[in-house]
Amino acid sequence: MPKDAAVEEFARLVRALKARDGRSYEALGRRLSVSASTLHRYCSGATVPEEFAVVDRLALLCGADAEERRALEAAWTRADGARRPPVPPLPEFAASVAPGDRPTAPPAPAPVPVPSAPEPSPAPESEPTSVEPSPEPEPTAPEAPRARRLPSLPAPLLVAGAVVLVVLALAAALLGRPSRTPSAPAPAPPSTSAPSPGRERPVPFTWTIGSQLWQGDCGHTYLVDRAPRAVAPPPVTADAEAWAEAHGAVHGGETLVRVTVQGRSPSTAVVLHALHVRVVGRAAPPPWNAYRMGDGCGGAVTPRHFAVDLDRPRPLARPVDGHDASGAEPRTIPAVSFPYKVTASDPEELLVSARTVGCDCRWYLELEWSAGDRSGTVRITDDGKPFRTSGTKGRPAYAYDTAGGRWITGAESGQTG
């Protein structure tokens, strides 16, 4: 299938799911925790998602059955392969080995030239006994070299004779030393190595995180140690991670973390019991400028989430109701407390909103779980590092003036705080 055809086939299936659900890009994006523009790019074929998980969540949300989800995953696999550059073929092994380095079979032993009338071959048993000298040596000396000359024999017979000689030599060597009786085997040395951690069974679920989320896809603040003229314009939500890394930015006032948990088994459920917050570092907020990614762009849907007050001595993850105003009548999205259950076909998303006013906090999450006779706790970090959230109180705040193409202060933009 051509590259463009594979991507278009995948986009067609995504469009069909959206049309079946009937909701807008914005409403569906809120449920999937992606921006409306990102979901539109999936439907138009402009972008293929990096992972199938987000598309699988869309299929579950739109009521797709198992057969449709398998077809969707197959289409995503083809489209994902089509968008990647082809891998150059590796050179053949034979071409990379020098002729002198190639392994060659050992040459067959060449027969020793003999007279036209060969003498009979001596019996193999005569070789060991020929070592001892005869008590009466022969008077004629020429017979000795004649006895060492071998008749012309086929190569297989020579090889078989050599094998017999080797076996006889080994038997003679073994008969000259005491043998070990089977009733007294050599004791094996005791094993002192501990089980390797890599051999432990993996946890019965997988999880992914998103840590560059914005309220309403536009309401977010970053602290950056740069002057306004050295800061690029605000990115779209999909490019937030690259923008933040390029500027060394720190979440200002709030960090949103989305944790998607999915079981490995379609039938055995994993129970999620609790979510704990561990603060590993507290300091004064850095004296950097605060840059707002957008103002006054609140979305129609506020998802249910877990609120965390990092300024408390022992922060807790507290469940909070969500709000959906995308329909004809606003409705409340009730918060769900632990425990949760997840399987391979029924994942769960946990949205955490961690806030601070006067702390430069570094923190991570711990998720307690159990499945059958197993239980444990997994640590959830920002790609191996603690999450970082810093207060913005008293820091110079800037908003971006799209008309002028520059960052301006809150006073210039008519906004304060």
Nearest 5°: the CA angle 84, 50, 202 is 115
Instruction: Please write the tens of the pLDDT for every residue from 85-143.
Output: 555 554 444 444 444 444 444 454 445 454 444 444 444 444 444 444 444 444 444 44
Average pLDDT over residues 330-345: 87
Q: Which of 66-70, 112-116, 256-260, 329-333 has the lowest mean pLDDT?
A: 112-116
Q: Is residue 53 predicted with pLDDT exceeding 50?
A: yes
pLDDT at position 22: 77
CB-CB contact of 396 with 411 (8 Å):
no
φ/ψ region of 264 (left if φ > 0, alpha if ψ in -120 to 50, else beta) reads alpha
Instruction: Please write the tens of the pLDDT for every residue from 186-241.
Output: 444 444 334 455 467 899 999 999 999 888 766 899 999 999 999 999 998 888 99
Average pLDDT over residues 293-302: 62
Q: What amino acid occupies position 133?
A: P
Q: How far, in Å, CA of 285 to CA of 93, rounded?
A: 58
